[in-house]
């Protein structure tokens, strides 16, 4: 042990989980109902349903496959049930085999091999019940935070985001990296206008070029549709909160990345190689971002909210029916005008603006809450009851058939 210690679950491949999720993973939307029926009523079972069809091509199928494997390999997944129909564009066996390399329990069931819907459901439920018993016997042990990866995000941004929550997270990011940990940020569309600041922090010329290239490619993809990205950002909610330009929003957003060098840029569905700070290339669409962080192996997410109407949505972030069990989320509120919404958050950072707390004080509370979350303390969103089953939207660049 070289740094701060938390209590986690050591996996067979040496990685560390902070939750024990029984992940039920359909490789295509045709198997979503199977996943729901297999998981129904079993403690700890989470069916991760997606929009993956047979109509995606090339890089989109490859990215989806990488994500499926990444979710299964995420250290917070204690065991994984992979489900397919048998005629899926992504082979269930290939996903299961890749996840099985971690040494965690994995089984794969498909309709064509089991021959009937009922047999898939019956076999899947029996296996999950056995895994639920095994998980109950797992004991946390002391692990180093150098074994943990954080995701960082901001949303509902307003004029207070850059003055409280985002810079407080930035301090935590620096501290986390200095302790040997890994941090992943994203939202490429919301780096436009501030990319030069990130390029100046690139750990190498190659990384500098990668940052410039992904931002340029994002601008070009948007402009190819006949839309100016600076005309779609900031959003109406951001403008209502006092932000006036995309550049202003981006400058506030990059504050949460801290000050440490950026070690790499990697695609959605990929995973960072080594500790430090990394950029995942993905649009700002929240469901896609959450899936990307989970596939990248992040065990926890820090989410900064400015205020306004988004802050008043109890289940906010992204799903609006609840969280994603594979990725616990620490929610941070900045705007003192949203005091009625404070109950929906883990950390209130508005004291910085009220003059009742220092930035370092807020950062230390975020740090302590993150360590407690890693050791098993539930976040507010984890305590919030799921209001329905979420269908998660995959990133698609097109074309489709």
Tell me the domain boundaries of the chain. Answer: 21-137, 146-383
What is the H or E stretch that residue 36 is in?
Answer: helix 32-39
Cα-Cα end-to-end distance for the chain? 52
Which of the four pLDDT bands, split at 50, 70 and 90, describes residue 248? confident
As a whole number, mean pLDDT of residues 98-107 equals: 98
As a whole number, mean pLDDT of residues 276-295 equals: 95
What is the H or E stretch that residue 121 is in?
Answer: helix 117-136
As a whole number, mean pLDDT of residues 113-123 equals: 96
Where residue 145 falls (left for φ over 0; alpha for ψ -120 to 50; beta otherwise) is alpha
- pLDDT by residue (tens digit) across 154-185? 988 888 899 999 999 999 999 999 999 999 99
- pLDDT by residue (tens digit) across 250-266? 888 899 999 999 999 99
CATH number for the domain running over 21-137: 3.40.50
Task: Count helices and strands (H / E) in the chain.
Answer: 15, 16
Whether the predicted pLDDT of 109 surpasses 80: yes
Tokens standing for residue 300: 């926890």
Cβ count near 104 (within 10 Å): 21
Q: Are strands 329-333 and 21-26 parallel, antiparallel or unpaired?
A: unpaired
As a whole number, mean pLDDT of residues 12-33 equals: 97
Least confident segment among 50-64, 103-117, 285-299: 50-64
| Separation CA 104–CA 72 (nearest Å) | 9
Tokens standing for residue 267: 């695609």
> So what's the pLDDT on residue 18?
98
| Separation CA 330–CA 65 (nearest Å) | 28
| Separation CA 337–CA 79 (nearest Å) | 43
């Amino acid at each position: 042990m070289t740094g701060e210690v938390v209590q986690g679950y050591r996996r067979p491949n040496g990685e560390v989980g902070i939750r024990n999720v029984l992940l039920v993973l359909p490789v295509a939307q045709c198997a979503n109902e199977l996943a729901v029926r297999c998981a129904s009523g079993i403690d700890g079972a989470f069916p991760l349903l997606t929009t993956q069809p047979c109509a995606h091509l090339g890089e989109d199928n490859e990215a989806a496959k990488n994500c499926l494997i990444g979710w299964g390999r995420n250290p917070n997944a204690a065991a994984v049930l992979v489900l397919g129909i048998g005629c899926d564009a992504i082979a269930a066996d290939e996903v299961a085999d890749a996840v099985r390399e971690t040494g965690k329990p994995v089984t794969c069931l498909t309709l064509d091999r089991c021959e009937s819907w009922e047999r898939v459901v019956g076999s899947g439920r029996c296996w999950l019940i056995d895994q639920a018993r095994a998980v109950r016997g797992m004991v946390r042990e002391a692990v180093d935070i150098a074994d943990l990866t954080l995701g960082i995000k901001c949303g509902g941004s307003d004029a207070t985001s850059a003055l409280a929550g985002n810079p407080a997270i930035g301090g935590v990011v620096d501290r986390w990296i200095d302790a040997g940990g890994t941090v992943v940020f994203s939202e490429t569309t919301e780096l436009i206008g501030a990319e030069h600041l990130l390029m100046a922090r690139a750990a190498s010329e190659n990384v500098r070029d990668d940052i410039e290239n992904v931002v340029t490619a994002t601008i070009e993809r948007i402009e190819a549709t006949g839309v100016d990205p600076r005309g779609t950002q900031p959003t109406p909610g951001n403008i209502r909160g006092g932000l006036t330009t995309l550049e202003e929003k981006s400058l506030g957003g990059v504050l949460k990345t801290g000050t440490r060098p950026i070690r790499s840029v990697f695609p959605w569905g990929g995973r960072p190689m080594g500790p430090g700070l990394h950029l995942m290339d993905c649009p700002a669409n929240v469901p896609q971002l959450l899936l990307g962080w989970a596939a990248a192996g992040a065990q926890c997410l820090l989410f900064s909210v400015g205020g306004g109407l988004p802050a008043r949505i109890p289940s906010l972030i992204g799903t609006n029916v609840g969280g994603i069990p594979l990725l616990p989320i620490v929610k941070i509120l900045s705007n003192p005008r949203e005091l009625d919404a404070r109950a929906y958050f883990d950390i209130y950072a508005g004291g910085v603006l009220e003059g009742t707390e220092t930035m370092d004080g807020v950062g230390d509370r975020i740090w302590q809450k993150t360590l407690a979350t890693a050791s098993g303390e539930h976040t507010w969103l984890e305590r919030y009851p799921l209001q329905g089953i979420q269908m998660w939207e995959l990133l698609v660049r097109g074309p489709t058939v």
